[in-house]
Chains A and B, each alone.
Chain A
């Protein structure tokens, strides 16, 4: 049953469409339409006939007791309220109603069921406004019409013709009863070119007559957005919510129709404005941290730019809008306001306007200085959640732009000297990690000295945060480098618009300084904290970045970790650290090998010092002989210990005490393995793991426990010639170069 009625409705719709397609603008005469037309002729659709009646009925036809009229009205009304009327039906009915061909009562009744199914043709509305100008319609009916236009405004297919009759619509503004609705409609139609001095004056006259009416003020405030040089206005905060909705009559029917039509037409029923309501709950005397509101600039509007079409950022609400108006967007009067809007930031990133950035930096620097350095506000520097909120917003802005502001940078250098290391720590360190490359000549004074003081006098957790921050900083520097190296070709020294405006060697010096500085921090930090594994983990994070600088970021620089980091990591009691050290050594090897290859190929493209290779080989040799060969402390190695001294320690077999079996980090695994291999054996002999196949199995066992770093290290650095051999024992020698 339902299906059947559905079917008739579709037929009805389609036949209707084709019937009126003569007058319709888009007459796409496809086969389908022709087919429908044929069917229509057969059936003689009642809905179409009804519309035909309304479009043709003579003016002055009696409406009281007119059964034909009543029957047709009911038919269209039912369609309108249930499925919505197609565009052409809207045109017909609106014209019928507004022309008052059968009096005002019918007009109101028609207006009430004019629910659009898809869109409202703009010509219909223009036509209706024309009828409005004739001036025969009762005021209350005019109000209903205007409310209807406001309700369906977003469904009007285009608005350019409506804007063309802006002046006609404006003329109704003096009509007291219509004024609120007219103002609202004008608000929706206003463009910069429609703001004229005489209109401003008219509205101001009205304001004197009617008092501070919200609708007048809202329209005037929009005028101010477009032409601040003509009118000025301070909206009281309670009045910032926007226009009232006038859609009560149609709301239920409209949403029902839209729901039924699968909500394909997304009409914003509530036409409230996006006026940002500022909450001024805080009673602070100074508002350094308050973002200024987006408002258009008074000055730029004067004379020359008036003729040019501009789009104030204030009016920007969506990304497509941004794309459409990219060529004519006007920067706001206060650049600080951009910080609050990601759309505006997109634009800022796109324009690359020096002055704009400078203005933003002035504002930002001022806010930061006043709040955290001069403390000229109410003294409560940063303690408030407001400061937290501000810094978080700044952080997210910088992450959005993927670059730190120079004013933030300048501020941080000053602030580090007075910072206690705990105030807003995550935010401050976050900002610090965003700073661009600092030239090596002043990096120590600006960054290292203040940081070092804080580092050595603070808790373990702070130390970890600092290392993490410096790791992020290095990552960002390297990323910038790799991006610009890609963009400009490798020879970045010749190009002037690199982010750092510094030569490759200058950049390398800075990176070198940073890495060495972290090396020093790490060495002392590990001593101070008793080689705490948490700290060690952050330090190893850092070296994971360092070891891959050549391969990952294309920077011809390899810096080895200092002994104060290497040995604590190697002798760490947790297997994770040793494993990560294995991975780091593996990556170092990869980087150094390919650097050497490239050096040989290109001849003198860059030069990694022999010292670096030497250091690496030392570490490698030691690590292999320690973990693999059980030959620690032999003469000629990095660490030599006198035999007698070793004897004094009374450690049995000191040389083997850090091999993969006896290393404190792996001892547990060795025991586990031993137990699994020989479940019934009561006496524990770990050395038996070293023999024969067991060693291989033990390695497999370790690798299966997730020690992939170790696996990569062993597979890359230990040349196991005789793996498949008869005694597949550790016949291996570390590769040396």
Chain B
């Protein structure tokens, strides 16, 4: 059971744990910590992220999770969103949801035509559980959704084409938050989608109608990109990361993109040098120092101060991630670490 080490906790949670139902106040924590917000270019980036993390452990995820399912998740680029807790979502009802969702998609596509639920349609929706990805008992099991389209004139045994896929997950979510939710709610705060935007909109709207939840876009801010850069670099001894590529955007006119690629061995040595003795944990200070050193190195050569810009993209052979909320995980080995970080980002966006 992993526990966060140094989250700044205010002792307020007990003061106002619960009020009468109407004002249902979850805890004052989010409000209090909201004052520790930092603002970058008008956007609000809550810094409730932990000051330190475990060093990524290489772990053969395929021992716990069906390799076929893992294969569905990795080596693809996903667009991220956050989701508020799902009301009355049941992992036992997935078949029923499949029918509902496919009928919904068809009826939305054919405005003004009533559709009988459960009838054979142009779309086939598959809901499935990815067992084993959850780390703690409090984490809800990951749900994978695939939408296949049937070609109207295809032969019977033709393979159906996957037109959309997505998954809802929660890995090592904030214990306190998850425990505070009533049992009718299931928190799967992170949604990864892949497929046409129009379908994504439809599917989100079905979820909103069915589970009374809300979706919002989830970006990955500079700090989290830095974390990813450091965590991936730290994996180099076990898996060759091949390169560390960072992309900065500088606020010049017109904006300037700087692509900065570092040799994996150099990156690893640099990372190793800023690392302190603590083997199990990585602190935010180490991460910042790592990036600072990279920036000063760049400055020495090109006289461009990268710290004036913002980090937009990080990629290695292990995966890539973009500021706008795109992520690709190339190797299943460190998938848990990445998903934990993303789950945190998603939980930070929760309105209560």
* Given contacts A298-B210, A368-B351, A406 and B32 within 8 Å (CB-CB): no
Confirm or deny: A357 has a beta carbon within 8 angstroms of a beta carbon on chain B: yes
User: In the complex, what's the smallest C-beta–C-beta distance from B139 to chain A, in angstroms?
Assistant: 19
- Complex formed: what's the CA distance from A354 to B21 in Å? 5
User: In the complex, what's the smallest C-beta–C-beta distance from B214 to chain A, in angstroms?
Assistant: 4
Partner of A436, one of B23, B115, B214, B350: B23
Q: Which residues does chain A contribute within 8 Å of B39, judged by CB atoms?
A: 418
* Given contacts A362-B213, A411-B351, A375 and B42 within 8 Å (CB-CB): yes
Tell me if A366 and B216 are in contact (CB < 8 A).
yes
Tell me if A407 and B117 are in contact (CB < 8 A).
no
Q: Which residues does chain A contribute within 8 Å of B351, judged by CB atoms?
A: 361-362, 364-366, 368-369, 407, 410-411
Partner of A359, one of B26, B30, B108, B212: B212
Confirm or deny: B242 has a beta carbon within 8 angstroms of a beta carbon on chain A: no
Tell me if A201 and B116 are in contact (CB < 8 A).
yes
User: In the complex, what's the smallest C-beta–C-beta distance from A723 to chain B, in angstroms?
Assistant: 54
Among A224, A349, A501: residue with most chain B CB under 10 A: A501
Tell me if B107 and A376 are in contact (CB < 8 A).
no
Partner of A233, one of B37, B87, B114: B114
* Given contacts A232-B104, A413-B34, A501 and B19 within 8 Å (CB-CB): yes
* Given contacts A229-B117, A361-B351, A234 and B20 within 8 Å (CB-CB): no
- Complex formed: what's the CA distance from A373 to B210 in Å? 26
User: In the complex, what's the smallest C-beta–C-beta distance from B78 to chain A, in angstroms?
Assistant: 18
User: In the complex, what's the smallest C-beta–C-beta distance from B43 to chain A, in angstroms?
Assistant: 7
Partner of A358, one of B34, B44, B96, B182: B182
Among B24, B25, B87, B214: residue with most chain A CB under 10 A: B214
Tell me if B112 and A234 are in contact (CB < 8 A).
yes
Q: How many residues of B contact A (CB 8 A)?
A: 59
- Complex formed: what's the CA distance from A224 to B100 in Å? 12
Number of A-B contacts (CB under 8 A): 196
Confirm or deny: A404 has a beta carbon within 8 angstroms of a beta carbon on chain B: yes
User: In the complex, what's the smallest C-beta–C-beta distance from A384 to chain B, in angstroms?
Assistant: 17
- Complex formed: what's the CA distance from A335 to B108 in Å? 22
- Complex formed: what's the CA distance from A531 to B214 in Å? 49
- Complex formed: what's the CA distance from A231 to B31 in Å? 43
User: In the complex, what's the smallest C-beta–C-beta distance from A16 to chain B, in angstroms?
Assistant: 48
User: In the complex, what's the smallest C-beta–C-beta distance from A410 to chain B, in angstroms?
Assistant: 5
User: In the complex, what's the smallest C-beta–C-beta distance from B159 to chain A, in angstroms?
Assistant: 27
- Complex formed: what's the CA distance from A21 to B115 in Å? 51
Partner of A417, one of B34, B85, B214: B34
Tell me if B114 and A231 are in contact (CB < 8 A).
yes
Return the chain B residue nearest A285 by Cβ: B201
Partner of B117, one of A207, A231, A368, A450: A231
User: In the complex, what's the smallest C-beta–C-beta distance from A718 to chain B, in angstroms?
Assistant: 47
212-232 of chain B: CB within 8 A of chain A: 212-214, 216-217
- Complex formed: what's the CA distance from A91 to B6 in Å? 83
Tell me if B107 and A333 are in contact (CB < 8 A).
no
Confirm or deny: B272 has a beta carbon within 8 angstroms of a beta carbon on chain A: no
Q: Which residues does chain B contribute within 8 Å of A235, judged by CB atoms?
A: 111-112
Q: Could you mark each residue 332-352 of chain B with 1 if its beta carbon is under 8 Å from any beta carbon of chain A, else 0? A: 000000000000000001111
Confirm or deny: B12 has a beta carbon within 8 angstroms of a beta carbon on chain A: yes
Q: Which residues does chain B contribute within 8 Å of A366, judged by CB atoms?
A: 84, 214, 216, 351
Q: Which residues does chain B contribute within 8 Å of A361, judged by CB atoms?
A: 24, 351-352
Partner of B24, one of A203, A220, A357, A370: A357
8-28 of chain B: CB within 8 A of chain A: 10, 12, 15-26, 28
- Complex formed: what's the CA distance from A354 to B121 in Å? 38
Tell me if A439 and B12 are in contact (CB < 8 A).
yes
Q: Which residues does chain A contribute within 8 Å of B243, judged by CB atoms?
A: none
User: In the complex, what's the smallest C-beta–C-beta distance from B117 to chain A, in angstroms?
Assistant: 6
Partner of A204, one of B10, B17, B104, B116: B116
Question: Which B residues lie at the A interface, using CB under 8 A?
Answer: 10, 12, 15-26, 28, 30-32, 34-35, 37, 39, 42-44, 84-85, 87-88, 93, 96, 100, 103-104, 107-108, 110-117, 182, 184-185, 208-210, 212-214, 216-217, 349-352
8 closest residue pairs by CB, A with B: A365-B351, A366-B214, A220-B114, A233-B114, A414-B34, A413-B31, A236-B111, A362-B84
Given A212-B112, A235-B111, A406-B23, 14 extra CB contacts under 8 A: A233-B112, A235-B112, A236-B112, A353-B21, A354-B21, A410-B31, A414-B31, A414-B34, A417-B35, A436-B25, A445-B32, A446-B35, A449-B35, A501-B16
